[in-house]
Amino acid sequence: MEEPNPLKIFENDPSSVININDGKLPPQAIDLEEAVIGAMLIDEKGVDEVIEILIPEVFYKKSHQLIFESIERLFRNSEPIDLLTVSADLKKNKTLKNIGGEYYLIELSQKVSSSAHIEFHARIIQQKFIQRKLIKISNEVIQKAYNESTDVIDLLDEAESKLYDITQGHLKKSSVSAEDLVREAKRKIDEISKQEGLSGVSSGFDKLDKLTSGWQPSDLIIVASRPGMGKTALALSMARNMAITHKVPVAFFSLEMSSIQLITRLISAETGLKSDLLRTGKLAEHEWQQLNNQISGLESAPLFIDDTPSLTIFELRAKARRLVSSNDIKVIIIDYLQLMNLGSSTKTGNREQEISIISRNLKALAKELNIPVIALSQLSRAVETRSGSKRPILSDLRESGAIEQDADIVSFIYRPEYYGMENWDDDMQTPSQGQAEFIVAKHRNGALGKIRLKFSAELGKFEDIDSYDSPFEFQSKLNKSDQEKLDDKDDMPF
């Protein structure tokens, strides 16, 4: 019996014929692209409305991308935008023929009569672009998911990172010209010159803020010390200053203490009630009143605490992105770096390598979210075994492989009282009781220095030292060549 010919089946059954229209086209809105480009050509007000919304890549048609690039160039150079100027610019850049010549520009300008509704149309074009991006990302994820050698955790992180970029509107070019960067830098410098106060997020400590100009966006800040020096207390004091005093949203990731323990310590610092009283609950009536009256600021503070134990770097990045997206977080604090891990799928077998990867990822996270990331870190026992000064130095960083390299700022906490020393090692032998030294030992974009702070062990709280508390004045101008001097007590006037 003769085998049926599939082609004849299609010929005899019109319903089974495949039509090109049955295929799938990428999401697009060519008619709206034409309307938006045409409106910008005839009305410069339309350019002002959408120039910050659109980028060349959102246009589906290549000719529209080239025309928009031309309009962008003219706009940046403060030149008039119309048929003649755009045509001349395209001709100058040898792309006029690629878009269909002057005739196509004239044709676009005749498709609209004004720039009415141009922003609405631009938003639809942007939506179509986002749909195309989502399709592309999904296809890439599907292909990689079928690959048996793909690390699932890495794939999840990559997918979430790309989706986060879309939700944040990071639809920008992978590279930027020097001209654009210089213009952006000048704009930021101009903004800083006009604004009062700091260029970054205030730590709440005046002398430290003068040294750093506040914690800067995209910086990784390491705060390290030996156990018991007060790392968590300092981090909580900074979180309190940021969230309560300055109303800056803060995310605090605690891998060591529970969220209730942390908030209890914050209550103690805020109310002045000793921690042991709060732990036992044995408060007198006036202390209950003091508690109720002084925690309102803490209750309304934009502070978000996550106490997930054994947090992986992947989980941290995922949680951080969601917190930034949903709560506009401006600072992330991690307590502490050595308690983090990579997850079972990416074990290296070498703890120093793991810490190196975690450190590198924290720096990448700070850059991606464009906010400061403050990570607490342990110091090695070398401090304890060293004869002479116990003041920490960079080589004391535990498993320091990449921490020192990746961090923009490396700082230490040092309390002579911890080692039974009653006085500072300065010329005046200043009493050290209830005081700590915050040492900025590496500062990629600024000066180094040592700043003394008041420390209350009973309240777990760091504060500025008032002028009458100590004759100490921090040295604000140290250049990086003075790095070694930080480790030599005789070289510092304090």
Cite the active site residues: 256
Three-state SS annotation for 65-99: HHHHHHHHHHHHCCCCCCHHHHHHHHHHCCCCHHH
Question: For residue 460, with 0-12 CB atoms within 10 Å meaning exposed, 13-18 middle and 19 or more buried, which class applies?
Answer: buried
Cα 55 to Cα 108: distance, rounded to the nearest angstrom: 19
Three-state SS annotation for 105-165: HHHHHCCCCCCCCHHHHHHHHHHHHHHHHHHHHHHHHHHHHHCCCCCHHHHHHHHHHHHHH
For residue 292, the Cα-to-chain-centroid distance in whole angstroms is 35
Q: Could you report how far apart the first and last alpha carbons of the chain are, in Å?
A: 104
- For 268-292, b where at least 16 C-beta lie within 10 A, e where not — what string? bbbbebebebbeeeeeeeebeeebe
Cα 243 to Cα 136: distance, rounded to the nearest angstrom: 39
Name the residue among 384, 396, 420, 494 with its Cα closest to residue 450: 494
CA–CA–CA angle 272, 264, 365 (5° rounding)? 115
57 Cβ contact partners less than 8 Å away, ≥ 6 residues apart: 65, 129, 171, 173
Cα dihedral 414→419→422→426 (10° resolution)? -50
The SS3 of residue 172 is coil
**Alpha carbon distances (Å) from 164 to 134, 171, 243, 323:** 11, 11, 25, 11
Tokens found for residue 187 = 């704009």
Cα 401 to Cα 357: distance, rounded to the nearest angstrom: 10
